């Protein structure tokens, strides 16, 4: 059966020049023009650094995207994932025709609507109702077509009370609600949505995800969706593509792409050192986390049934009251599983270790994330999320219960917690 391709990107690349706009650009433009009239290639296409934010470049040019190729079928909901700086937003801007690619071409099989950032395409001086008609006109719809949808748009957005108020007075959440409702209900063939939905509240995000599923399933429309929330991507998208430093890595089933992305993105070790200080009340901060067996041996993989512990090393620079240390656990796509907290402690300056002792592994085989929490009582909670990975193997390990009972400490949410000065 022949595929119904609604969008095809071929050899898409985007190059940006770093530094202040105008510095040396006249010379470069003349050089480009001289090469063009002689029928030669743009000389600046052969230079430029990869889009890696963590390294210092050697060139004034950077490739935000390089040689991106993919196809999207009609009715497909495609997730686009990758780290910050991977090129996701740049790709969406090119697909939305906000900016042109440096090289390559895109073939569309229908009308495109995009929601890239809060307030995109809105005129702040115009009311919400007027902006609905404006956006519809931009999409090529007649006033009659827009009028037939306007009640649904207003109802879905939840902004009826303010619909005749200039949108410059809207909150960011109201902006997003109205903008998404316009983009979704004016029936584009291709809907492009960036991370902007994260601005909305949980109730609206649920509605928006449901609406994207409906327009794909019932209307046969195509959705391109960018998010850092892997749980949402997995729920919404059947397929996904992965970008890294501006380059195409893979396209496939969403679960396979997410698993590959997380396996490449996260640490998988038994000891994590925190170089940047994250203070609580400016006096306490974590310095290191170890994953160990109960004998103190570092482990990067824990068999099912084995006793294990997590040690969080932290420093107190001034006397502090009611200091609480917490250890959170989520699955690999950030779904919370549980959180364990110590009882409040009054501590003098010094170096300390908080030990969280697990009786036995009670989870399925796989990878889990650990998150450190430090708080003074119920205030000033600081979280450290460094992609700390706990790997649980499928090896069943039998061990005597008496080993764990020899440890002293406080029972907190199934884990014993002990804070000691070192």
Question: 271-421: what fold?
Answer: Coagulation Factor XIII; Chain A, domain 1 (2.70.50)
Between residues 94 and 292, which one has the greater pLDDT? 94
Q: Tell me which CATH homologous superfamily contains domain 67-265.
A: P-loop containing nucleotide triphosphate hydrolases (3.40.50.300)
pLDDT of residue 231: 75
Per-residue pLDDT, averaged over 147-172, amounts to 90
What are 231's two structure tokens? 């749980």
Contact call for residues 378 and 317 (beta carbons, < 8 A): no
Is residue 278 over pLDDT 80? no
pLDDT of residue 139: 72
pLDDT of residue 3: 78
| pLDDT tens, residue by residue, 297-309 | 887 777 766 778 8
pLDDT of residue 47: 52
Q: List the domain boundaries for the chain.
A: 67-265, 271-421
């Amino acid at each position: 059966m022949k595929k119904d391709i609604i969008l095809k990107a071929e050899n898409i690349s985007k190059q940006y020049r770093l530094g202040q706009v105008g510095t040396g650009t006249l010379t470069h433009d003349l050089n480009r023009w001289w090469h063009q009239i002689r029928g030669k290639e743009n000389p600046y296409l052969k230079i430029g650094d990869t889009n890696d934010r963590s390294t210092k470049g050697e060139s004034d040019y950077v490739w935000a995207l390089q040689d991106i190729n993919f196809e999207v079928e009609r009715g497909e909901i495609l997730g686009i994932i990758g780290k910050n700086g991977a090129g996701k937003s740049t790709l969406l801007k090119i697909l939305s025709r906000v900016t042109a690619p440096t090289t390559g071409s895109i073939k569309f099989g229908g009308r495109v609507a995009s929601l890239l950032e809060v307030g995109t395409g809105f005129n702040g001086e115009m009311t919400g109702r007027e902006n609905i008609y404006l956006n519809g006109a931009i999409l090529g719809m007649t006033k009659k077509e827009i009028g037939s949808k306007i009640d649904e748009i207003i109802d879905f957005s939840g902004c009826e009370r303010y619909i005749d108020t200039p949108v410059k007075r809207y909150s960011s959440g109201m902006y997003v609600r109205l903008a998404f409702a316009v983009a979704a209900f004016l029936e584009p063939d291709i809907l492009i949505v960036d991370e902007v939905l994260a601005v909305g509240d949980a109730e609206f995000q649920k509605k928006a995800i449901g609406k994207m599923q409906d327009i794909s399933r019932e209307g046969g429309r195509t959705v391109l969706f960018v998010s850092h929330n892997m749980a949402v991507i997995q729920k919404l998208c059947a397929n996904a593509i992965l970008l890294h430093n501006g380059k195409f890595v893979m396209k496939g089933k969403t679960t396979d792409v997410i698993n590959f992305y997380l396996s490449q993105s996260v640490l998988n070790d038994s000891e994590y050192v925190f170089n940047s200080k994250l203070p609580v009340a400016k006096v306490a901060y974590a310095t290191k986390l170890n994953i160990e067996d109960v004998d103190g041996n570092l482990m990067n993989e824990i068999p099912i049934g084995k006793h294990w512990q997590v040690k969080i090393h932290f420093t107190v620079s001034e006397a502090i009251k009611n200091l609480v240390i917490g250890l959170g656990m989520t699955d690999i796509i950030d779904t919370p599983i549980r959180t364990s907290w110590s009882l409040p402690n009054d501590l003098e300056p010094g170096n300390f270790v908080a030990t969280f002792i697990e009786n036995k592994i009670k989870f399925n085989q796989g990878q889990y994330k650990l998150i450190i929490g430090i708080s003074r009582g119920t205030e000033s909670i600081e979280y450290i999320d460094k992609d700390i990975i706990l790997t649980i193997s499928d090896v069943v390990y039998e061990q005597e219960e008496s080993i764990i009972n020899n440890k002293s400490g406080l029972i907190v949410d199934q884990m014993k917690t002990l804070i000691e000065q070192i």
